[in-house]
Structure formats: C-alpha cells, structure tokens
C-alpha cells in the first residue's frame, strides 16, 4: 500500500471530510510484533492533538485494566479502524471505514498478533462484518478472515462504556483478563478463559 511506511500511514487524503477535521493522522502505537492488538473506532480530540490512540479518559480505563493483568500500554499494540478524527466525534461513514481498511489489514498482517480485541460496536462490526450486540457478546472469540488471512478476534466493550455505566467495570476488566489469557501475555495466568462465570 503506497501511503504506508512500515505500520504508519503518511499523508493520506482519501477522505476529504477527515482531511478537514483532523490535525494529524493518528497511527497505531506499540510493538510491531505485539501478541495483542486493541482496535478502537477513531481518534477523538485528545488523540488528534497528541497523535496517539486512546490517550483520553477511555485510554486511562484501558491502561488501568491492562495494569491489573500485569501489562503496560507499551506491551500491546493499540490502533483504530480509521486514523483521522471525525468532526464532533461522529461515527465513521462506511466509505471512510472502507478507505482505511487496507491500512488496517496491512498493519495486522505485518504485526501478526495472537489476538485482536475489538473495543466497542464499530470495530467489532467492522471486523466481523455482521451486527454485534457488544454487551451480550463481550468475551467471545472467533476466527475471522481479515484481508489475506485469518485472525482470532475477541469482542470487548469500549472502555468508555465503564465511564457511563460503572456496573460495566467488572465486565471490562474480565474481558481484558481473558484477552491477555487467550493471547498468552501478562500475568492473568492459566491459559483458561475467565469467562465461565458470566
């Protein structure tokens, strides 16, 4: 893909509205051979100004859940379905998702993770290519064809869900623990899913 430099997109102008609303392209962060990749929807205002995914309040929730299983942000890769901030945090359009899809596929192919965790409805539906009831399906894992190959994908709530509804905190923590377990990273332990009890 011509506008890709390793795992980074440079100077893309495929989506005119996003070129207007972004101040920079927000590429994924973390190791280029991470076992665990987290996929969000799109950069928000904080991410747009700092040039890094999940650096606002949602990012703090994610960092804290990672810490609970012995992982640091630097141990995992974090990226988004689209790399430019949509105005007023609207959802990405189908066309914008499609325009950015090849970049994501190339990133996943090059990183070659054990597991991709979709954070919320938009990334879950984007990768699974079906309607997803995130609260019901959180913690489930399936093999999904993405580009030229298949990846294990685990559905998760968006970390912001815990900010709107405190009762989701435990679920989110368990999803992250399960993700670390499935990917074989962190200190969550046994290689068994933690999902038996909910």
Which residues of the shown chain bind ligand URA in the complex (CB under 6 A)?
A: 40-44, 47, 53-54, 58, 80
C-beta of 85: minimal distance to ligand URA in Å?
9
Q: Which is nearer to ligand URA, 80 or 156 (CB)?
A: 80
CA distance 7 to 198: 36
As measured in angstroms, the least distance from the Cβ of 40 to ligand URA is 3
In the sheet where 115-119 sits, what is the strand order? Answer: 77-80, 36-40, 115-119, 149-156, 141-146
Report in angstroms how near the CB of residue 117 gets to ligand URA at its nearest: 12
Tokens of 49: 């100004």
80 versus 162: smaller Cβ distance to ligand URA: 80
C-alpha distances in angstroms, 143 versus 78, 128, 149?
20, 9, 10
Nearest residue (CB) to ligand URA, 40 versus 188: 40
Closest residue to ligand URA in the complex (CB): 40
**Joined tokens for residue 80:** 């988004």
């Amino acid at each position: 893909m011509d506008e890709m430099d390793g795992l980074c997109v440079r100077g893309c102008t495929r989506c005119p509205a996003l070129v207007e609303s972004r101040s920079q392209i927000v590429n994924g962060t973390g190791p280029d051979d991470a076992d665990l990749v987290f996929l969000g929807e799109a950069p928000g205002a904080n991410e747009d100004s700092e040039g890094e995914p999940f650096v606002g309040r949602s990012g703090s929730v994610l960092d804290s859940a990672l810490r609970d299983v012995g992982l640091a942000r630097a141990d995992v890769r974090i990226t988004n379905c689209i790399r430019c901030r949509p105005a007023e945090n609207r959802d990405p359009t189908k066309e914008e998702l499609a325009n950015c899809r090849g970049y994501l596929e190339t990133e996943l192919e090059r990183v070659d993770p054990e597991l991709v965790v979709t954070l919320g409805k938009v990334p879950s539906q984007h990768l699974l290519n079906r309607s997803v009831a995130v609260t019901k399906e959180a913690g489930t894992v399936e093999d999904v064809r993405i580009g030229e190959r298949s990846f294990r994908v685990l559905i998760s709530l968006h970390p912001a869900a815990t900010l709107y509804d405190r009762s989701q905190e435990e679920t989110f923590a368990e999803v992250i623990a399960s993700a670390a377990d499935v990917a074989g990273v962190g200190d969550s332990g046994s290689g068994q899913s933690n999902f038996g009890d909910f």
